[in-house]
Amino acid sequence: MHHAADGTLIMQIAELDSPSVLIDLDIMERNLRRWQEHCNAAGIASRPHVKTHKIPELARLQISLGAKGINCQKLGEAEVMADAGLDDILVSFNLIGAAKLARAVALARRIKLSVVCDNDVVADGLSDAFAAAGMRLDVLAEVDTGGARNGLQTPQDVVAFAERLSNRPGLRFAGLMTYPPKGKVAEVRAFLSEAGELCRRQGLEPKVVSTGGTPDMWKASGYGGVTEHRAGTYIYNDRMMVAAGAATLEDCAMTVLATVVSRPTPDRAVLDSGAKSLAADLLGPGRGHGHIREYPDALIEQLHEEHGVVDLSRCTGRPAIGERLRIVPNHTCVVTNLHDRVWGVRGETVEKAWDVAARGRST
């Protein structure tokens, strides 16, 4: 391994041990550029969700391409990103308990922090903590536009909650946030527009209307009145996004480099990559745990912790013991969380080694 004059790492993929996570830089850069150009044309700010990569250098790259700020799910991720100079962060998770509230106050002292909230228990905690610190925190009311996760259930609930938020010391009602369900653009639009209108009638302007997700990101402008969109997976893409129709296999920047360690029967290969490298998320019956680029008809049918068991019965060719394969994972975000480091590659050349600095920051 050596470095070029500009600091670029120069080594070959052949020199990397396996399992390793590789990011195809050409594909990743294309994914980032394409989405930013789309946001610019649609007049929507991009606020990428960094849970997909958990790497400050990539968050900075997203900002340098035009993103307004970043989105984190966890305070721990936000702290790592703030340490690296990211200064506009939305934490899209209800924060509960003294430990988290103290950390949120500390974070808000050094960056522009905003949070989401969908209930009075969380709002009371935030209000007490920020009022005691003599600060005001921007809070987005999280609304359930059909995703059936967190969120206020009706536009009437939203306006009542927004009113309570704006009357609490230490808080400022900043707008609406939702994680929309795929394929429900019209329903999401109807909910957001009614909730926004009711808020405005009470003099509560939702300055921010924040939607998210990669599966429907190309339709985000159809939600209407959206000021920012939080896409995460789009940077790498994965088989889930291919299944959702948001990307093709050619748009998948992340692969897991694996080695065939055993061929116990003519139709079976065993890889050195199991649930601790590939993650066990399934796409559906018969779809397996990843797409092997060199053997597209192979099925990764079972993952043990360290073994990936592959059914070769539908393949024309057969890999030899020692052969190295590249696998497009089902779900990139969880693969990221399993690895200390990922490698940025162009063709067969390894150019970057990034530590996954926010890995495992689950509080």
Ligand X SMILES: Cc1ncc(COP(=O)(O)O)c(C=O)c1O
Q: Which residues sit opposite 11 in a β-bridge? A: 350
Cα angle: 346, vertex 40, 93; to 5 degrees: 85
Short-list 230, 306, 179, CA closest to 68: 230
Task: Check binding of 213 to ligand X (CB under 6 A).
Answer: yes
Distance CA 343, CA 328 (A): 15
Contact between 188 and 145 under an 8 Å Cβ cutoff? The reply is yes
Cβ nearer to ligand X, comparing 216 with 272? 216
Considering beta carbons, is residue 143 or 270 the nearer one to ligand X?
143
The least distance separating ligand X from the CB of residue 203, rounded to whole angstroms, comes to 28
- Residue closer to ligand X by CB (options 46, 255) is 46
Closest distance of CB 220 from ligand X, Å? 11
Spatial CB neighbours of 319, under 8 Å, sequence gap ≥ 6? 260, 263, 269, 294, 295, 312, 325
Over the window 91 to 120, marking each residue x when it contacts ligand X by CB under 6 A and - when it does not, the resulting string is -x----------------------------
Q: How far is the CB of 93 from ligand X (least distance, A)?
A: 8
**Does residue 212 contact residue 71 with C-beta atoms inside 8 Å?**
yes
Smallest gap, in angstroms, from Cβ of residue 216 to ligand X? 9
Site stretch for ligand X (CB under 6 A), options 19-27, 207-215, 277-285, 315-323: 207-215
Specify the residue, 232 or 290, whose C-beta has the smaller distance to ligand X.
232
Q: DSSP labels for 202-215?
A: TT----EEEEE-ST
Q: Tell me the two tokens of residue 53.
A: 């990569």
Indicate the residue type of 142. Answer: E
| Mask for 164-193, x = binds ligand X (CB under 6 A) | ---------------x--------------
Whether 46 and 62 have beta carbons less than 8 Å apart is answered as yes
The answer to the question of residue 336 lying near ligand X (CB under 6 A) is: no
Q: Are 82 and 107 in contact (CB under 8 A)?
A: yes
Considering only residues 94, 114, 145, 214, which one is a binding residue for ligand X as defined by CB under 6 A? 214
Give the SS3 label for residue 143.
strand
Query: Of 75-83, 231-239, 277-285, 336-344, which segment contacts ligand X by CB under 6 A?
Result: 231-239
Return d(Cα 261, Cα 310) in angstroms, integer: 11
| Pick 128 or 222: Cβ nearer ligand X | 222
Minimum distance of ligand X from residue 167's CB (angstroms): 26
| Biggest distance spanned by C-alpha atoms of the chain | 71
Angle at 155 between CA 152 and CA 157, to 5 degrees: 50
Cα–Cα distance, 333 to 240 (Å, whole number): 11
What residues numbered 47-76 form the site for ligand X, per CB under 6 A? 49, 52, 71
What is the DSSP code (8-state) at residue 90?
A: E
Q: 227 vs 259, which CB is nearer to ligand X? A: 227
Under rule CB under 6 A, residue 289 binds ligand X? no
The binder of ligand X chosen from 31, 221, 233, 330 (CB under 6 A): 233
145 binds ligand X (CB under 6 A): no
Q: Please report, as a single letter, which amino acid is at residue 334.
A: V
Within 263-282, the residues that bind ligand X by CB under 6 A are: none
Q: Whole-number minimum distance, CB 160 to ligand X, in Å? A: 23
Cβ count within 10 A of residue 92: 24
Residue span binding ligand X (CB under 6 A) among the ranges 79-87, 162-170, 213-221, 309-317: 213-221
Task: Tell the smallest beta-carbon distance from residue 333 to ligand X (Å).
Answer: 6
In the complex, the residues that contact ligand X under the rule CB under 6 A are 49, 52, 71, 92, 179, 212-215, 230-234
